[in-house]
């Protein structure tokens, strides 16, 4: 019962927290077990919330034993379907036994339940898949050996645009299920070899479903290339592909291209990286973004005028929304920063706190309005509906204000520092030309490989 209530609350919270929540191949998600769901783990507590919200059936979670504590805490966590598992890093120097967790997992799978496992073990806010541990394969093959039939492993890739930021995007990429029975014969012949083979298959499947940048340096370069070049790539891409899938595939292609040239022409990549870093640093110092550097002066001026008009007309609604939504919006952020210094925990803490702050504040504001203004129930309901709507408008207004400031900064540079703008645009054109040439070489090589 507690699980069902929390799932409903969090599903509503996810709809509000994320600007876009896209799912690819949702039809591959079975409606029942026995099922092991495996996923990458970039965003701590947010990852199980996102994944479990997409499955119709109840989900049981394999969690590190350190989250368990007092008897009441243990009872609460078990009501939320958590199964503790012990890790060597949690108890250094002590023998580790997961017999209880494995037995509980086998029993759950025998009852056709669904288990969610993050085979990397720990959560890190990175666009890569770390080492996949063997626990998932051991549970799967062990369950198969004890008579669990039809067991599948469902790989799920979680891709966040900005894991710790409110109103960011998440793209959930669902892969083809792995049939554990395909490894049963090999497991009977050589258990350890079968575990390693299944673990490697899980790794490969997950790596295909996410943006995987091998190092922080390559990830930084990939983000810079995305900022400058992705829009041009998207313009040349097939128009019949949904935008969220196209965005994912383009980023994968950029990462693949960087990896390709890093192995074959590292000096060329290093030179391009230096140009990108220098250009981006200059933009940061000027408080500008690349997306407006490719616009003509008249376009910047025209857009600025339209946005100023929008800001002027929308100011009263913005003030209304800010007055009613500032505290419930800012409190979750303050709570997250007070509760932890680990950025990976910001988003789930903000989501959890916001689930309570917004409804409570809205109810309090509606009650005060009714008491102080003597509103009827119908007018109180109308007033209540304006609170979340004005909140969304306020967020959009603020983002528009930020973009307008960037446009005015650029216009100011056009007037006072024209040589600097010209220099930045020349740098941008040079970088774009190099990226275009690299793309043509990469595609030509790929085509030769297919012939």
Find out whether the peptide bond into 334 is cis, omega within 30 degrees of 0.
no
**In terms of Cα–Cα distance, which of 410, 409, 435 is closest to 250?**
435
Question: Is 60 exceeded by the pLDDT of residue 94?
Answer: no
**For the segment 125-143, what is each residue's pLDDT rounded down to a tens digit?**
889 999 999 989 999 999 9
The pLDDT value recorded for residue 76 is 59
Computed over every residue of the chain, the mean pLDDT equals 87
The pLDDT value recorded for residue 449 is 61
The pLDDT value recorded for residue 141 is 93
CATH topology of domain 2-209: Glycerol-3-phosphate (1)-acyltransferase (3.40.1130)
Q: How far is CA 40 from CA 64, 155, 323, in A?
A: 15, 9, 39
Residue recorded with tokens 């005015």? 408
Tokens linked to 273: 């990286």
Predicted confidence band of residue 358 (pLDDT cuts 50, 70, 90): very high
What mean pLDDT do residues 136-160 have? Answer: 93
DSSP assignment, residue 167?
T
**For the segment 68-89, what is each residue's pLDDT rounded down to a tens digit?**
556 655 665 666 667 766 555 5
Predicted confidence band of residue 257 (pLDDT cuts 50, 70, 90): very high
Predicted confidence band of residue 451 (pLDDT cuts 50, 70, 90): low
Quick one: which H or E segment has residue 156?
A: strand 152-160
Predicted confidence band of residue 98 (pLDDT cuts 50, 70, 90): low
DSSP string spanning 92-142?
A: TTS----HHHHHHHHHHHHTT-EEEE-TT-S--SSSS--PPPTHHHHHHHH
Question: Is 70 exceeded by the pLDDT of residue 92?
Answer: no
The pLDDT value recorded for residue 165 is 82
What mean pLDDT do residues 427-434 have? Answer: 94
The pLDDT value recorded for residue 9 is 85
**For the segment 117-127, what is each residue's pLDDT rounded down to a tens digit?**
999 988 788 89
**For the segment 7-53, what is each residue's pLDDT rounded down to a tens digit?**
888 888 888 889 899 999 999 999 887 999 999 998 888 898 899 99
Residue recorded with tokens 């770390």? 130
What mean pLDDT do residues 425-438 have? Answer: 93
The secondary structure of 74-100, three-state, reads: HHHHHHCCEEEECCHHHCCCCCCCCHH
């Amino acid at each position: 019962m507690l699980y069902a209530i929390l799932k409903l609350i969090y599903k509503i919270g996810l709809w509000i927290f994320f600007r876009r929540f896209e799912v690819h191949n949702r039809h591959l998600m079975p409606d029942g077990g026995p099922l092991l769901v495996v996923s990458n783990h970039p965003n701590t507590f947010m990852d199980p919330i996102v994944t479990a919200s997409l499955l119709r059936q109840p989900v049981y979670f394999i969690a590190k034993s350190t989250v368990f504590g007092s008897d009441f805490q243990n009872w609460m966590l078990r009501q939320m379907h958590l199964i503790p598992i012990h890790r060597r890093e949690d108890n250094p120097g002590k023998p580790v036994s997961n017999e209880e967790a494995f037995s509980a997992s086998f029993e759950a799978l025998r009852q056709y339940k669904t288990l969610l496992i993050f085979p990397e073990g720990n959560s890190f806010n990175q666009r890569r898949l770390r080492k996949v541990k063997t626990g998932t394969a051991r549970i799967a093959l062990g369950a198969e050996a004890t008579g669990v039939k039809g067991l599948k492993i469902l790989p799920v890739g979680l891709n966040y645009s900005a894991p710790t930021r409110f109103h960011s995007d998440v793209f959930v990429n669902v892969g083809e299920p792995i049939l554990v029975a395909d490894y049963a014969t090999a497991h009977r012949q050589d258990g350890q070899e079968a575990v390693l083979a299944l673990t490697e298959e899980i790794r490969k499947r997950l790596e295909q479903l996410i943006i995987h940048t091998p190092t922080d340096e390559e990830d930084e370069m990939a983000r810079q290339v995305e900022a400058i070049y992705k829009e041009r790539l998207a313009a040349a891409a097939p128009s019949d592909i949904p935008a969220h899938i196209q965005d994912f595939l383009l980023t994968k292609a950029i990462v693949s291209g960087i990896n390709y040239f890093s192995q074959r022409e590292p000096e060329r990549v290093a030179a391009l990286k230096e140009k990108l870093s220098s250009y981006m640093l200059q933009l940061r110092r000027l408080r500008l973004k690349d997306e407006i550097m490719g616009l003509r002066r008249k376009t910047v001026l025209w857009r600025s005028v339209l946005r100023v008009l929008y800001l002027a007309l929308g100011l009263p609604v913005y003030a209304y929304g800010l007055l009613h939504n500032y505290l419930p919006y800012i409190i979750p952020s303050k709570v997250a920063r007070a509760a932890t210094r680990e950025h990976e925990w910001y988003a789930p803490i903000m989501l959890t706190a916001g689930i309570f702050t917004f409804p409570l504040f809205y109810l309090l504001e509606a009650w005060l309005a009714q008491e102080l203004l003597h509103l009827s129930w119908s007018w109180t309901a109308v007033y209540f509906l304006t609170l979340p709507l004005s909140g969304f408008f306020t967020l959009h207004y603020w983002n528009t204000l930020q973009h307008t400031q960037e446009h005015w900064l650029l216009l100011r540079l056009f007037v006072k520092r024209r040589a600097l703008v010209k220099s930045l645009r020349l740098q941008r054109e040079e970088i774009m030309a190099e990226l275009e040439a690299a793309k043509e070489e990469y595609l030509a090589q790929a085509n030769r490989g297919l012939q």
